């Protein structure tokens, strides 16, 4: 894992946007397959990508995207649906074709069949080149709550009490938060070729410490990312505050900047 401890959300957004930019530019034709997260964590990175699109000509033309999850029972047009969230916060402001942005259908009559077909649709697109993730205060990624199988696939999941509490800020009350979601599984997420996870604030500090330095366990689902070969973790000081080896990660990043790898040298 490559751990970046940065000053604030804006500095984090730059690091995350750099990973996106590299992936989009490397993909060439027919474009990258992006795995998109919703929630508050990726918003500064999306804002930075929108800025690069407007001011620096970064193009997402030809890219396709798959969302991580969707609430069961919400239609695409519902004001709290993730389908709508990603359009308002990212897609409508860059040049990705709206039809190329796919999310699980929360209003599907048969959510179990909807979940079962989702991994197949990702595979048919050639798999995800870059997955961006947030993390729940309980260590979930997507809606893989504690206790999730480390090899789980996209499926219908029940939301934990802490997630319903955390997400109630977007609804009138906790009672209005849907109790289920369609969520990519941990095994699905691990198939992405590159992953960048971003978190800010003290509320994420315990989950980040477990993700980076804890034992791999479904108690903290994000720990499964330790098995992935290409993960970048970007946290602010508060979210990184419980990392025991924080100074080592800072040292490693400094050394990299001071000694860039020259692949052209024989």
If one asks whether residue 134 binds ligand F6R (CB under 6 A), the answer comes out as yes
Which of 89, 105, 129, 140 is catalytic? The answer is 140
d(CA 210, CA 163): 18
Facing residues of 2 across strands?
232
Name the residue nearer to ligand F6R (CB basis): 68 or 101: 68
Which entry of 89, 138, 144, 167 is annotated as an active-site residue?
138
Among 22, 26, 40, 151, binds ligand F6R (CB under 6 A): 40
Nearest Cα neighbor of 221 from 153, 142, 139 is: 139
Instruction: Give the contacts of 104 (CB within 8 A, at least 6 positions apart).
Output: 67, 69, 70, 111, 114, 115, 118, 154, 182, 183
Taking the complex as a whole, the smallest distance from the CB of residue 111 to ligand F6R amounts, in Å, to: 17
Residue from 43, 216, 230 nearest 128 by CA: 230
Rounded Cα–Cα distance for residues 249 and 6 (Å): 11
Q: Does 234 bind ligand F6R (CB under 6 A)?
A: no
Question: Among 69, 105, 119, 236, which residue interacts with ligand F6R (rule: CB under 6 A)?
Answer: 69
Rounded to a whole number of angstroms, the minimum distance from the CB of residue 141 to ligand F6R is: 6
Query: Known catalytic residue: 167?
Result: no
CB of 247 to ligand F6R, least distance (A): 26
Q: Give me the least distance between CB of 169 and ligand F6R, in Å please.
A: 9
* Binding of residue 41 to ligand F6R (CB under 6 A): yes
124 contacts 198 by C-beta, under 8 angstroms:
no
Nearest to ligand F6R of 59, 160 (CB atom): 160
């Amino acid at each position: 894992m490559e751990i970046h401890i940065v000053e604030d959300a804006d500095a984090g957004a730059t690091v995350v946007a750099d990973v996106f930019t590299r992936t989009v530019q490397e993909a060439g034709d027919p474009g990258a397959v992006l795995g998109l997260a919703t929630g508050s964590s990726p918003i500064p990175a999306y804002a930075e990508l929108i800025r690069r699109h407007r001011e620096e000509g970064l193009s997402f033309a030809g890219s396709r995207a798959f969302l991580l999850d969707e609430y069961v029972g919400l239609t695409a047009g519902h004001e709290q649906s993730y389908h709508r969230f990603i359009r308002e916060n990212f897609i409508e402001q860059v040049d990705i074709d709206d039809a190329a942005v796919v999310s699980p259908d929360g209003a599907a009559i048969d959510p179990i069949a909807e979940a079962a077909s989702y991994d197949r649709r990702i595979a048919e697109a050639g798999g995800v080149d870059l997955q961006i993730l947030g993390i729940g205060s309980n260590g979930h990624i997507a809606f893989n709550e504690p206790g999730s199988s480390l090899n789980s696939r996209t499926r219908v999941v029940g939301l934990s009490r802490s997630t319903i509490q955390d997400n109630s800020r977007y609804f009138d009350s906790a009672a209005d938060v849907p109790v289920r979601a369609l969520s990519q599984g941990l095994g699905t997420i691990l198939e992405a070729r590159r992953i960048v996870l971003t978190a800010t604030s003290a509320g994420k500090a315990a989950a980040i410490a477990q993700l980076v330095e804890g034992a791999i366990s479904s108690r903290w689902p994000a720990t499964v990312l330790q098995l992935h070969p290409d993960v970048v973790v970007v946290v602010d000081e508060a979210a990184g505050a419980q990392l025991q080896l924080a100074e080592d990660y800072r040292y490693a990043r400094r050394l990299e900047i001071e000694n860039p790898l020259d692949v052209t040298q024989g």
